[in-house]
Amino acid sequence: MHVYEGYETLKVAREGGIVTVTFNRPDVKNATNAQMHQELVRIWPDIAADREARVVILTGAGDAFSAGGDIEGMKRSLDDQVRWIDSMIEAREILRGVMDLDCPVIAKVNGHAIGLGATLALFCDIVIARDTAKIADPHVKVGLVAGDGGSLIWPQLIGYARAKRYLLLGEAITGKEAAEIGLVTEALPADQLDARVDAIASQLAAGAAVAIRLTKRAINMDLRQRFDTMIEAHLGYETMSHLSEDHREAVMAFAEKRDPKFTGR
């Protein structure tokens, strides 16, 4: 039996052919820090090595899916460029890991999915959201480009016009609204979410694994080509914005609980 060891910010368990990966920092709404980033790089090859894994459920502990980047980590990275570059490489490998994993991945968006949390959910194969969950990529509000996958996946799902609205303004959308425009697969009340995800996961786990895995690979071919062509530039743009005065101002304003004063520099 495959054993998932060495994870702290993720809770990983398999029952039958269903692997459940849970963001496990509920005290900070499952915000990602450096350790979680690194564990998210490792988890996908670890699941790929599990010969009995048939489907993955990705979700969050408590009442949140993932609140995105940890503000304290952002603050530290302002003057730690080595860590920043490492985080960009990790972001690329995390998303590549979701796409390349043969098993289908279901995002159970049990609460707010923000920033990288939203991106990770949207890169999953099936996204079932709580109807009241907020989904947003507000990178611009902290002076950053939505370069870690958001500016790639949102237009693929809802078209350029809608994606520009949500990414340029950093606006949130509810799970219900997201389902109506095709950003997520479907949205349900909280008390129906677990049963619906479990039913889909069980159906996939009992299905023809070879056919399901190759169908995922076939569908993802176009997305993977776009990803490989664009992700380095997108991460480069995010790095350029990371070096801006506006980003530093946004991070400091957030930490000091005040409104940022952007200068366009």
pLDDT tens track for 177-196: 999 999 999 999 999 999 99
Domain ranges of the chain: 1-191+208-265
Residue 1 pLDDT > 70: no
Q: In what order do the strands lie in the sheet with 134-136?
A: 64-66, 112-114, 134-136, 172-174
Phi, psi of 125 (to 5 degrees): -80, -35
pLDDT digits 0-9 by tens, 11-24: 999 999 999 999 99
Question: What pLDDT is attached to residue 76?
Answer: 85
Reported as a pLDDT band with limits 50, 70 and 90, residue 74 is confident
| Distance in angstroms (rounded) separating the CA atoms of residues 146 and 144 | 6
Q: What local confidence, expressed as pLDDT, does residue 242 receive?
A: 95
- Judged against a pLDDT cut of 90, whether residue 117 lies above it is answered with yes
- Of 222, 219, 129, the closest CA to residue 176 belongs to 129
Q: Are 204 and 104 in contact (CB under 8 A)?
A: yes
pLDDT of residue 235: 97
pLDDT tens, position by position, 123-145? 999 999 999 999 999 999 999 99
Burial class of 167 by CB neighbour count within 10 A (0 to 12, 13 to 18, 19+): buried
**pLDDT above 70 for 69:** yes
Listing from the earlier edge strand, what are the strands of the sheet with 186-188? 10-15, 18-23, 55-60, 105-109, 126-130, 186-188
> What is the per-residue DSSP string for 33-98?
-HHHHHHHHHHHHHHHT-TT--EEEEEESTTEEE--B-HHHHHHHTT-HHHHHHHHHHHHHHHHHH
- Asked if the model's pLDDT at residue 91 lies above 80, the reply is yes
CATH class held by domain 1-191+208-265 = alpha beta
Q: How high is the pLDDT of residue 132?
A: 98
Burial class (CB in 10 A: 0-12, 13-18, 19+), 120: buried
